[in-house]
Amino acid sequence: MSYETVAAAVDAEQEISRSRFIVRLERVDDEAEARAVIARVRSEHPRARHHCSAFVLGPDGRVQRSNDDGEPSGTAGAPMLDALVSAGLSDVVAVVTRYFGGVLLGAGGLTRAYRSTVAIATLQARRQVRDLRHTVTVRCAYDIAPQIEAEARRRGYSVGTAEYSDLVTQHFAVAEHEVAALTALAAELSAGAARVDLGPATYVDLPA
């Protein structure tokens, strides 16, 4: 199952009834990183009244958290979270800093302001697709390794690092349905001499 996150941090801002809403949208790997981003944004704007936040984590977006940070309950964090989920993003945190402009917006106004501020950032964000890939290690002779690598690249497999000793140990990252094809390729080009080991499956960034 593939999913999307943001490729780089996004900063955006809008003014509503003299209040400034400044958003930071940033990619994170876990809850600790998300909370570190929230703390960093808070330190960057020490005079602001509110630093509301929301984040979504995991390939299935299962981990979802939000915080109103002093705004009326449900008027900030929840609509921010809804904007992230509606945008189809995960492994991402949004922090909206509000500088109060002296005009009360009411619950409806706050909800729209916080949601739209995050939505602006999601529209500006460059997206990164992540998908599950198996680590496959191929050990073969020096004269065979370049042939396997060249054909793997031609087929669009992700080619990783290599180690060199008496044999070449080349690492690949391939989708589950490509494992058998890579194994067959290594066997064919090496006349059955190559050793292929299947490693764990992890989520990786796919090339744009």
pLDDT of residue 1: 82
The residue assigned the tokens 């067959």 is 184
Mean pLDDT of 158-163: 94
- pLDDT tens track for 103-136: 899 999 999 999 999 999 999 999 999 999 999 9
pLDDT of residue 83: 98
Band (207; pLDDT cuts 50, 70, 90): confident
- pLDDT tens track for 27-43: 999 999 999 999 999 99
Neighbours of 49 (CB within 10 A): 13
Distance (Å, rounded) from C-alpha 94 to C-alpha 84? 8
Distance (Å, rounded) from C-alpha 76 to C-alpha 187? 57
pLDDT of residue 102: 87
Band (206; pLDDT cuts 50, 70, 90): confident
Mean pLDDT of 97-103: 93
Mean pLDDT of 142-154: 97
Predicted TM-score of the model (pTM): 0.85
3-state secondary structure of 48: coil
Distance (Å, rounded) from C-alpha 125 to C-alpha 23? 12
Angle of the 106-124 helix axis to the 77-86 helix axis, nearest 10: 30
Token representation of residue 93 = 């945190």
Token representation of residue 68 = 């109103």
Instruction: Provide CB contacts within 8 A for 62, sequence distance 6+.
Output: none
Please name each of the domains of the chain with its CATH number.
3-125 (3.30.230.30), 130-205 (3.30.70.240)
pLDDT of residue 200: 92
pLDDT of residue 8: 97
Q: Where are the beta strands (DSSP E) in 81-157?
A: 92-99, 127-140
Mean pLDDT, the chain, whole residue set: 96
The percent of residues in the chain predicted with pLDDT above 70, rounded, is: 100
